[in-house]
Amino acid sequence: MATSDNFLKTPSKTPMNDKVSSSARKHNHQTTFSSSSSSTKSRFDAYNRLQSAAVAFGEKLPIPEIVALGGQSDGKSSLLEALLGFRFNVREVEMGTRRPLILQMVHDPTALDPRCRFQEEDSEEYGSPIVLASAIADTIKSRTEALLKKTQTAVSPKPIVMRAEYAHCPNLTIIDTPGFVLKAKKGEPETTPEEILSMVKSLASPPHRILVFLQQSSVEWCSSLWLDAIRDIDPTFRRTLIVVSKFDNRLKEFTDKWEVDRYLSASGYLGDNIHPFFVALPKERTTVSNEEFRRQISQVDADVIRHLQQNVKGGYDEEKYKSHIGFGCLRDYLESELQKRYKEATPATLALLEQRCSEVTAQLTSMDSKIQATSDVAHLRRSSMMFASSICNQVGALIDGAADPDPEQWGRTTEEEKSESGMGNWPGVVSEIKPPNATLRLYGGAAFERVMHEFRCAAYSVECPPVSREKVANIILAHAGRGGGKGISEAAAEIARAAARSWLAPLLDTACERLAFVLKNLFDLAMEKNQRQHFDCDYGKKSGDMDGYVGFHAALRRSYNCFIKDLAKQCKQLVRHHLDSVTSSYSQVCYESDLLFSANSSYRNQTSVTSMSLDLSDQENIPPENNDRETTPGKLVKAAGEGEASAMTVPETPSPDQPRDGNYVVKKENGNFLEGGGRKRHPRIQMNQGNGGKVLGNLLGQNGGTTTYNEICCSAAQHFARIRQVLVERSVTSALNSGFLTPCRERLMVALGVDLFGVNDEKFMDMFVAPGAIDILENERESLKKRQKILDSCLTEFKAVARSL
């Protein structure tokens, strides 16, 4: 039997309707009487006050609360207005898609007209009462827009709290959440639907909250868009109440009793133990009085029951489903369920309140001590020196090796270090450098050692650059008229020295900057490590607490960074001095005996193997190893007098297909050039060293000049390799370790002490009593006092509630 769509819009005057309306009025009277019981009201008021404090101060308290969930236009806003007993056009402001609304409904028999007050933002205080319904909607809209503009977001989880006192509303607190949407509105970010879903899940996840999920009756259970989202939050629907809204739209489809009973049971989709509520509310949005609005709600309930009884063949199973049909039944259930949860949670809430009161009292005591300490210079000096000393000890421990804090969180890979330090690739190195353990997150001494190894890989990847014939000619001409047999050898050595100064100096500077970056990062790790080690689990406070002294922490960080910066500057000067020494014309590095250099190479091989044997990563670059003796480039075999031929050792010309560096075969492995290979024998050529014109002619390409030019280039490459090896293996490694690590272990505290504490009291106190610092501490103390007062008041109320249980 079909019915008209308008049957709910015009209230019928049948005796059944009159009987149901009379029953509804009687039910309202009983609800008013029960809600007025002193124990119930005192318990409700205590939780409302506690909820206000939690919102104002950000307290995480497990207060039983009802959260309304559902898609856009599923009827959440209409349900709120029906619970309140009056309309305030909440749907007109579209707040459901932007910001949650906490409605604290207080049944007050003396409030014949609704009195609504909004809690001030970031305060537990409420504003002046608002009477006009339009003003309520405007307040919600303005507060929402102001916060979203401030946060530059489309939605916000920060709730608006409204307290409504009215003679016709129950004692009930409900949180209206933004409605689920499939697509963002015009002008909103495309991520708005995902943000709403994430925010609603966050609001509904706490286990102490009761979920009220609304879904239109026109949506089949098997095609529900948002039921799966609710299952993600509450898989068994243990704390979820399902409400089928706009139930009147479905009534016309029922003709037989079995159809109605099958739909009301929702079996097969929700489970046998899940019993939804079925609600219909007035559809007309015309302006009516509050009394008329409530009458319409009761009339719709009556018409739904009448339709099921009279217009469906056989009616429906009233014994099983009547208690779940109609808004009145839903309202009574919500109020009784919330009061039940309040009663059950009272003991646990009382214990938690006592704990929070103790914690706030301890915080207030600590704040008083801080304010008092601002005038106690000796106390501040002693505390700050102990704190600085502890940080220095933590830095030393991190350099020596530590696994706390968690390296996965605080460590960095080689690529992250290069990116964050802004240094990028090594200057002059074309191939990619990947030292051992490059992909592991390291810090402290481990990261320092990795950078050192990376520097060695980069240095050995740099070859002696090619030299033009013009440069060779300009250098060798200076030696042409000096006589003797070392003109070509000296030219090759000078070319090697110039190349080493030009190409190795930037590598040294980069190494110093990278190492300084590693050490600068240790400050934050030392602070974290110090905080963890000095946390007193029994009392919840840190010994030697220096929190809150922002000026001191900033000065300590600045002093530490300056210390590391000075170390980097000193180390740059130190390694530059070593570079200048090995590239000086007085240096004998290029002419060291084969025996001495071979012995040094063996030492280098041993250290290289040791440093690389602990590689834990997948990829690496290995610095070259040289197990064979090197021949001193350009070594004079026989010197003759003027007019006699001189026999000289001349390196072979490298093959274009196989690059050579001196007497080393330069192989390319993993993108890096590595040296190796055995000693090569060199052919001897005869030339007149007394005739400078022949030498110049050879360089210009006359009479076999290519052989002479290649001899100089190969000899220069050998000199360059020897300079590089001596610099990296003998000088730089020990210089950087002693220049960075030793001062951090031995001189850091002295440097910080002189900088921070070696000043007069007035300048010292600037770190603690900066302009406005006292005012900030005083404001924090006042805020703590307010929180303490509110929590103590809540505690007193809950003790009274507990005694009445």
pLDDT tens, position by position, 177-196: 888 888 877 777 888 888 88
> Quick one: pLDDT band at residue 601, thresholds 50, 70, 90?
very low
**Is the separation of the CB atoms in 177 and 97 below 8 Å?**
no
Cβ pair 551, 544 in contact under 8 A: no
Helices (H) and strands (E) in the chain, counts: 27, 16
The candidate with the shortest Cα–Cα distance to 304, out of 250, 242, 241, 243, is: 250
Q: Between 342 and 609, where is the model more confident?
A: 342
Angle between helix axes 327-373 and 377-400 (nearest 10 degrees) is: 110
Does residue 114 sit in helix, strand or coil?
A: coil
The amino acid sitting at 436 is: P
**760, 339 in Cβ contact below 8 A?**
no
Mean pLDDT on 293-309: 90
The mean-pLDDT minimum among 228-237, 271-280, 370-379, 666-675 falls in: 666-675
Task: Please give the torsion angle defined by the CA atoms of residues 125, 126, 128 and 130, in that order, rounded to the nearest 10 degrees.
Answer: 170
Whether residue 536 has pLDDT greater than 50: no
Residue predicted with more confidence, 804 or 439: 439
**Residue 253, CA distances (Å) to 214, 305, 319, 629 in order:** 20, 15, 22, 100
Residues pairing with 101 in the sheet: 160, 176
Overall average pLDDT of the 622-649 stretch: 37
d(CA 511, CA 728): 12
**DSSP track, 519-535:** HHTHHHHHHHHHHHHTE
* CB-CB contact of 556 with 388 (8 Å): yes
* Least trusted range by pLDDT, from 79-83, 297-301, 521-525: 79-83
Bigger pLDDT: 538 or 546? 546
pLDDT the model gives residue 83: 86
CA separation for the pair 152, 800 (Å, rounded):
44
Report strand pairing: 172-176 vs 240-245: unpaired
Q: What is the pLDDT of residue 444?
A: 92
DSSP state of 658: B
Q: Is the pLDDT of residue 558 over 60?
A: yes
**Whose structure tokens read 């050792």?**
649
C-alpha 712/C-alpha 488 separation (Å) is 6
Q: Which of 263, 327, 320 is nearest to 301 (CA)?
A: 327
| 3-class secondary-structure state, position 94 | coil
% of residues, the chain, pLDDT over 70: 73
Q: Looking at residue 750, what is its pLDDT? A: 93
Is residue 435's pLDDT more than 70?
yes
Spell out the residues 6+ positions from residue 174 whose beta carbon is closer than 8 angstroms to its own: 65, 66, 67, 68, 80, 83, 102, 103, 105, 212, 334
Which helix H or strand E contains 701, and what residues bound it?
A: none
728-746 pLDDT, tens digit per residue, is: 888 888 899 999 999 999 9
479 vs 406: CA distance, rounded Å: 62
Q: Is 388 within 8 Å of 381 (Cβ atoms)?
A: no
Strand ranges, E, within 17-128 = 65-70, 101-107, 115-118
Q: What is the CA radius of gyration of the chain?
A: 42
Q: Is the pLDDT of residue 349 over 60?
A: yes
d(CA 677, CA 628) in angstroms, rounded, equals: 7
- Name the 3-class secondary structure at 115: strand
Give the three-class secondary structure for 43: helix
The pLDDT of residue 710: 82
Q: Are 583 and 500 in contact (CB under 8 A)?
A: yes
State residue 454's pLDDT score.
Answer: 92
For residues 233-247, give the mean pLDDT.
Answer: 88
pLDDT (average), residues 114-119: 87
Q: Mean pLDDT over residues 649-665, rounded?
A: 38
Give the DSSP letter string of 46-59: HHHHHHHHHHHHT-
**pLDDT for the residue numbered 538:** 40
Rounded to 5 degrees, φ, ψ at 465 are -70, 155
The alpha helices in 481-542, defined as continuous H runs, are 487-520, 522-533
Inter-axis angle of helices 487-520 and 550-582, nearest 10: 170
Contacts of 355 (CB under 8 A, 6+ apart): none
> What DSSP state is assigned to residue 178?
P
Per-residue pLDDT at 545: 59
Q: Where are the alpha helices (DSSP H) in 374-486?
A: 377-400, 407-410, 414-421, 444-460, 469-480
213, 218, 221, 227: CA torsion to nearest 10: -30
- Of residues 397 and 93, which shows the higher confidence score? 397
Asked whether the predicted pLDDT for residue 568 surpasses 50, the reply is: yes
The H or E element that residue 593 is part of is none
Any idea what the Cα angle at residue 265 is, between residues 263 and 271, rounded to 5°? 125
Q: Which residue has the higher pLDDT, 731 or 616?
A: 731
**Percent residues over pLDDT 90 in the chain:** 15
Look up tokens 């830095």; give the residue. 395
**pLDDT for the residue numbered 786:** 82
Structure tokens at 236: 């068994």
pLDDT in tens, 10-35: 333 333 333 333 334 444 444 443 44
What are the structure tokens assigned to 79, written together? 């349900």
Q: What is the pLDDT of residue 42?
A: 72
User: Hey, which of 341-345, 385-389, 422-426, 656-660 has the most confident mean pLDDT?
Assistant: 385-389
Angle between helices 15-35 and 38-57 (to 10 degrees): 70
Task: Identify the CA nearest to 650 among candidates 590, 719, 710.
Answer: 710
8-state DSSP, 442: B
123-158: string of b/e by CB count within 10 Å (b at 16+)? ebebeeebeebeebbbbbbebbeebbeeeeebbbee
- Whether 675 shows a pLDDT value over 60: the answer reads no
**CB 329, CB 278: distance < 8 Å:** no
What is the rounded CA–CA span in Å between residue 546 and residue 772? 18
Average pLDDT, the chain: 75
**3-class secondary-structure state, position 435:** coil
CA angle 167, 74, 17 (to 5 degrees): 55
Q: How far apart are the first and last CA of the chain?
A: 52
From the number of C-beta atoms within 10 Å of its C-beta (0-12, 13-18, 19+), residue 402 rates as: middle
CB 77 within 8 A of CB 159: no
SS3 call for 172: strand
Give every CB contact of residue 237 below 8 A, 6+ residues apart in sequence.
230, 231, 270, 271, 274
Are 666 and 463 in contact, with CB atoms under 8 Å apart?
Answer: yes
